[in-house]
Amino acid sequence: MNSQTHNPSMALTGEPPKSLSTGQKMATLLGMVGLGILLLAVFNVNFPNQTLWLIVSLSAISIGTLWFSWDAYAQKLPGIKNDGVWFKSISSRGFWAWVVGLALTGFYIVLYFYPEYLGLVSGGENRGVIALFDPLSKLLSGNPASQWFVYGTLYTVAILIFGAKFLWKYRHSRYQRLRTFSVMFFQLAFAFTIPELMARLNGHKILDGGSLPYYDLKNVWPLNYYNFESYRIKGFLSSGDIGLALLIFGILSIFVITPILTYKYGKRWYCSWVCGCGALAETAGDSFRQLSDKSTFAWKVERWVVHSVVVFVTLMTTAVVYSYLGTDTSKYWLTKSTFLIGVAVLLTLVFGWAMLFKRDQLQKDAQYGAIGYFVIIMALIGFHFFSGEGQVFLFKSETLRKSYSFLIGSIFSGVIGTGFYPIFGSRVWCRFGCPMAAILGFQQRLFSRFRITTNGGQCISCGNCSTYCEMGIDVRAYAQKGENIVRASCVGCGICSAVCPRGVLKLENGPLKGRIDSNQVLLGNDVDLMALVNQK
Amino acid sequence: MEHIVIIGNGIAGVTAARHIRKLSNKKITIVSVETDYFFSRTALMYVYMGHMKFEHTQPYENAFWRKNNINLVRAKAETIDTQNKKIHVKGRPTKFYNKNIHIPPVDGEWISYDKLVIATGSKPNKFGWPGQDLEGVQGLYSKQDLDLLEKNAPNNDRCKRAVIVGGGLIGIELAEMLRTRDIPVTVLVRESSFWNGVLPNGDSHMINEHIREHHIDLRLNASLKEIVSDGNGKVKSVILEETGEEIPCNVVGLTAGVTPNIDFLKGSGIELGRGVKVNRFLETNLEDVYAIGDCAEQQEAIGHRKPVEAVWYTGRMMGEVLAQTLCGKRMEYRPGHWFNSAKFLDIEYQTYGWVFPERKKTDSEIHFHWRHPQEKICITVAFEKDSETFLGINTFGIRMRHEVLDRWLTEKRNMDHVMAHLADANFDPEFYKGFESEIISKYNADFGKSITLKKKSLIRIFQ
């Protein structure tokens, strides 16, 4: 059989290029010591000075990772650094990949469903690893740590230190450098620091004594699927002008800001420059990007699953908002029925526009899917009006919210999305599960200046672009036809362009006309033949 | 139904098959002894380096061939009976059953054809060096060569040093591959500078420096005298012609070019030269027999092109053209402007139009060369002396836009226009620092001009 020429080995070391240098081994050891301290804390080893041990632990993890990366990349000439990726057990679904995958999955299960094992004590003094993070949490927000604070801190540390690794690895590419600085900044400032500081303001007079919900400003609905729940709306509305401004910002984000930015730059402005999930995938997940499934079957599954999630989140949010609205227009202008009619009108407009003007650009199954989903939602809304008051549609809004939160918010985005990085690649959540990515992708496919341009006839079909596409796009299938890549799922990370040995791919924004163009005969051949065969 | 048999499943044969399928429902059979499925030959190096698995070099899913009704036969074409229009193919013993692949019996079977396409590619050159058939001596062309390299040079314990003979594109790729496993590499280049039969001196010198930067022992003006055996049929060392120096090594890579792979056609009645002789319609001397890709030799060269062009793109283009002919629209092979690309370790190289090296260029071809003061980035632009017509460009470390340069060559733009609009032709990723203004000030200084750079224009680029 002509399959692989090399067996992924179980050993962490081995022959070049999969072997580790002495420096890398020591760096790994140091990082493990840092993780070990956290693990000891989980098992309730009592650390006398929490601040000191937290600093020691996080420093050991950070310095270990930075040292490892510096040793691996900074010593070499700038360029593509993929030597041995498919020989190393960690990056080719070998033994260590399964160890890390299982450990991460276990961590997520404990985090979401058994936080008490991490030492969470509600209404009392925290213990275990959460207690270790109390000093940092109190410094920032003034409150004791929760499991989410521990997770948020580790998440941010991971993005920063693996971001540094990425910066060394791709230091020849200014696009990659700027993009990585951007995700590191948005994670540190917007996801981590600002919400903690906002929490400090709660009860303060500039909020009229109100209490803002935890709000990562760059986290847009529907990724932030809980943004319009009752407790958050109450929080916003109780917090004076700032609260109202934040609520309006949250609504504008999805309906105005994201469409404009996606039109101009493609969905990459969000998915690979701003988003926190993307940030982790691009930094800590970079070693696993080649594991995504490139088959046409996987693509089909992706289209159905991710769009079903969009339908799910739309229904769920509609039901939740509906459940707390009143019926009396004199009390508040937005009532249950106005709201439902509004949703129906909006969906009809979007659906009508896509079907009227952009039908040709959709795959056959996408057309059927869109029609199917549209009919279902409209039927549910109609059903509601005919069935009178009580619960919305056929379901209780609370049941809908809970199942979404459990299935999508926890299992899909956390346990599978991140826990399975070393098995399925780094963007499983973004590709199959994220409703935000799906909505931006819809805009990107149909109405955006963004494309990956294929450079005439220069493609040699080598497959580096497809192999290293974290979204599982078979980039080569387009490039070797001389066709631009315009795919809903493309997050614009730019790695296909970076790994291309012949300079074939360029991410760019340009005119809509001629954005999607497939050629049967490529540039470089007889011009008469090209004109003959490529006419459409 | 007409049966088209294609020998060879490389880019030329497969492109022809795909286009024939698009245009017709003829019966198509592809015969290959090398692999079950089409793969990208240029990507073999990445398999050894661990960037990809072999499966990743296959551009189509395995089900593609069945879906498109293209029959695959894994066998060696032994003889061609052009009188009775059939070929004799021999399979090999196998236990595997694969519904996509037909494997003929070991003692062979006959396949009849209505039209025969020969697309058998190349094989590495061997120049009759003493010891060239020893164990450990190999080329790098086929999947089998890759498997052999994995056996000969799995690590730097089994292969203490490798000597590569020939400084071309494959030689430098082989050196890069071996270096990823920390195997010491010596490259013997017969010329005074790397690939200077193709590259002008400025470009070639920069590549010399980059090769050495990667700790590759580059020997210029050095050719192979003989390969020495260890007495057990294995390589022990090589001896240089010029100095008589003996370099101990375990692997010798022969990468001094390739030659058409056509030995099996001797005596078939098909006219052979270096390759299979074809006219501009890619037809051989025999009716219904055609040749495309590396193995085809043009009876008369096209423009500045060589009669045998062993390049990925030309193989693809011949496949595109021949499919038209076979489907009833007889067409000449008339390739457009020359272009090519390669990667020398970390440096990407692209070329559009013709830039000849010093020893081949005429007096009327003038070169403008710019090189970055620190980084390994340079360009060479060729133009005609009197009219200042743009002839071609080489870029290293800068990506260029094929469409724009192709347009300039067609429109026979002059050098001043090309220089002023250089930013339109840049294809580097966004946010990359452009060097157009530095390039233009050197151009102005060299030729006493006062060109100013025009800002990049999307309207001009996407016209």
CA distance A274 to chain B (A): 17
pLDDT of B63 above 90 = yes
- Is B143's CB within 8 Å of A2's CB? yes
Across the interface, of B22, B324, B341, the residue whose CB is closest to A529 is: B324
| Model pLDDT, residue A506 | 96
Distance in angstroms (rounded) separating the CA atoms of residues A195 and A373: 36
More confident residue, A412 or B6: B6
Which residues in chain A show pLDDT less than 50? 1-12
Distance in angstroms (rounded) separating the CA atoms of residues A7 and B26: 42
CA distance B143 to chain A (A): 9
- Which residues of B fall within a CB distance of 8 Å from A293? none
Section B227-256 average pLDDT: 96
- Which residues of B fall within a CB distance of 8 Å from A510? 458, 461-462
Distance in angstroms (rounded) separating the CA atoms of residues A347 and A315: 12
- Which residues of B fall within a CB distance of 8 Å from A17? 49-50, 180-182
| Model pLDDT, residue A32 | 94
Nearest to B236 by CA among B159, B179, B172: B159
B324 in contact with chain A, both atoms CB, cutoff 8 A: yes
B24 in contact with chain A, both atoms CB, cutoff 8 A: no
Cβ neighbours of A362 (radius 10 Å): 18
Longest dimension (CA), chain B: 73
| Model pLDDT, residue A6 | 47
The Cβ-side half-sphere exposure at A224, using a 13 Å CA radius, reads 21
Across the interface, of A508, A510, A524, the residue whose CB is closest to B335 is: A524
The residue in chain A having the minimum alpha-carbon distance to the alpha carbon of residue B177 is A83
B:430-449 residues touching chain A, CB 8 A cutoff: 430-433
B265: tokens are: 């056609």
Q: What is the DSSP string of B113-132?
A: -SEEEE---EEE-----TTT
B154 in contact with chain A, both atoms CB, cutoff 8 A: yes
Across the interface, of B182, B343, B403, the residue whose CB is closest to A523 is: B403
Distance in angstroms (rounded) separating the CA atoms of residues B138 and A504: 31
B280 in contact with chain A, both atoms CB, cutoff 8 A: no
Per-residue pLDDT tens digits for B25-46: 999 999 999 999 999 999 999 9
What is the β-pairing status of strands B246-248 and B251-254?
A: unpaired
User: Binning pLDDT at 50, 70 and 90, where does residue B78 land?
Assistant: very high
Q: How far is CA A120 from CA A42, A112, A145, A370, in A?
A: 10, 12, 9, 44
CA distance B130 to chain A (A): 30
More confident residue, A220 or B186: B186
Mutate to test the interface with A, among B430, B433, B461 (most CBs of A within 10 A): B430
| Model pLDDT, residue A14 | 65
CA distance A283 to chain B (A): 19
More confident residue, B435 or A417: B435
CA A371, A374, A376, A380: dihedral to nearest 10 degrees? Answer: -160
Mutate to test the interface with B, among A77, A83, A465 (most CBs of B within 10 A): A83
Mutate to test the interface with B, among A4, A20, A86 (most CBs of B within 10 A): A86
Across the interface, of A84, A457, A508, the residue whose CB is closest to B430 is: A508
Residue type, B443: Y
Mutate to test the interface with A, among B320, B344, B400 (most CBs of A within 10 A): B320
B427 in contact with chain A, both atoms CB, cutoff 8 A: yes
Across the interface, of B52, B96, B400, the residue whose CB is closest to A463 is: B52
Distance in angstroms (rounded) separating the CA atoms of residues B185 and B166: 13
| Model pLDDT, residue A341 | 84
pLDDT of B89 above 60 = yes
A254: tokens are: 């999805």
Contacts across the A-B interface (CB distance below 8 Å): 208
- Is B49's CB within 8 Å of A462's CB? no
Per-residue pLDDT tens digits for B274-308: 999 999 999 999 999 999 999 999 998 899 999 99
- Is B348's CB within 8 Å of A501's CB? yes
Section B192-207 average pLDDT: 96
What number is the ipTM of this complex?
0.94
| Model pLDDT, residue A389 | 56
Element (H, E) at A270: helix A268-271
Cα B261 to its chain centre, rounded Å, is 14
User: Binning pLDDT at 50, 70 and 90, where does residue B406 land?
Assistant: very high
> Would the CA dihedral through B160, B165, B167, B170 be positive or negative?
negative
| Model pLDDT, residue A533 | 77
Element (H, E) at B393: strand B390-396
- Is B43's CB within 8 Å of A463's CB? yes
Cβ neighbours of B280 (radius 10 Å): 14
DSSP bridge pairs for B260:
B122
- Reduced to 3 states (helix: H, G, I; strand: E, B; else coil), residue B4 is strand
Q: What mean pLDDT is reported for chain B?
A: 95
Section B13-31 average pLDDT: 96
B:164-223 residues touching chain A, CB 8 A cutoff: 180-182, 213-214
CA A171, A175, A177, A182: dihedral to nearest 10 degrees? Answer: -170
- Is B320's CB within 8 Å of A533's CB? yes
Per DSSP, A207 falls in state G
Section B140-149 average pLDDT: 96
Cβ neighbours of A511 (radius 10 Å): 12
| Model pLDDT, residue A535 | 63
Across the interface, of A296, A497, A507, the residue whose CB is closest to B61 is: A296
